Homo-oligomer: A and B are copies of this chain.
Amino acid sequence: MLPSPANLIVTVDVVLLTLQDNRLHVALTRRENEPFQGHWALPGGFIHPQEDDSAKAAAARVLREKTAIASPYLEEFGTFSGPVRDPRGWSLTVVHYALVARQVLSERVALYPVETLPDLPFQHRHMIESVVQRVRSKSSYSSLPVYLCPEEFTIPELHRVYESVLGEKLGMANFRRKLDDLGMLEVVQRTDKPNGRHRPAQLYRLPTHLRGSLAVRERGI
C-alpha cells in the first residue's frame, strides 16, 4: 500500500462562537488567498506537520493566527469531506468549535449572528449550523455555556447565557440546584465595588479541575 495521494487537501476549520446582545454569533475572517479570496469564511488552514502535534493543535494555531484568540474551550466537531466542496479537488477538513466571552476583536474578524449568515464557501454555512445545533444540545445537559462567560461571573449572568443559548426560559430556583449538582461553581470574593443600586450578586469562577472541560448532568439543565 502506498502513501495517500498528494492531491488530497487536508485542512482544519474553527467555528468560534460568542454571545452578543444575547444571541450567538460566529467569527468570520476575510480569505487572504484563492480560492474565494476576499470572501468571508471560517478561520481555517492547512495542517502543518512540522508545527502541529495534532489536528486540534492545528486548529488552535489557526485560530490564534487568524483571530488572535486563545479559547479556553476548543473541541473537535467532526470532518467534512468529498470531491466537490473545494474547487481544487478532493478535500477533508476537521471542523472544531470554540466558545469565548465577548471581547475586543481584530479588524480582520467580523461577528455574524448565526441565524443570518452571508454566503459562505466550502459548506461553511452547513458546518456552522451543525455546530450550533451541537452546542445547543450539549448546553442542555452540561456546563458548556460557562465558556461564553468571562472568567468571573455571577449566577444571574450565567442564567441569561443559558437562556440565550437554549432559547427558552429557565426557572431560577431549579437552575441553581442544577448548577450545585454540576459542581461547576467556585466562590470568588469581590474586590471591586458592584455598580447597581441593589443587592450585588455573588461572583463565581470555574474550579480548576473543570477548566477546559465539561461537567455533565444525566437529567439535563
Contacts and interface: CB of A to CB of B under 8 A. Distances in A.
Interface of A: 1-11, 32-33, 45-47, 49, 53-55, 76, 78-79, 81-83, 88-90, 92, 94, 218-220
B7 A10 contact: no
Contacts of A90: 47, 49
Nearest to A33: B1
A9 B5 CA distance: 9
B83 A49 contact: yes
Contacts of A94: 79, 81, 92
Contacts of A9: 3-4
How many copies of this protein are present in the complex?
2
Contact of A81 (B33, B46, B55): B55
Given A5-B46, A76-B78, A219-B220, 9 more contacts: A1-B32, A1-B33, A3-B7, A7-B49, A8-B47, A8-B49, A47-B81, A54-B81, A92-B94
A89 B45 CA distance: 20
A46 B79 contact: no
The 4 closest A-B pairs by CB, nearest first: A6-B6, A49-B90, A1-B33, A55-B81
Contacts of A81: 47, 54-55, 94
Given A10-B10, A76-B79, A79-B55, A46 B1 contact: yes
Contact of A88 (B3, B6, B78): B3
14 contacts: A3-B7, A3-B88, A4-B10, A4-B11, A5-B49, A7-B49, A10-B92, A47-B81, A49-B89, A49-B90, A53-B83, A55-B92, A76-B78, A92-B94
Nearest to A55: B81
Contacts of A47: 4, 8, 81, 90, 92
Contact of A4 (B32, B46, B78, B219): B46
A130 to B, nearest CB: 12
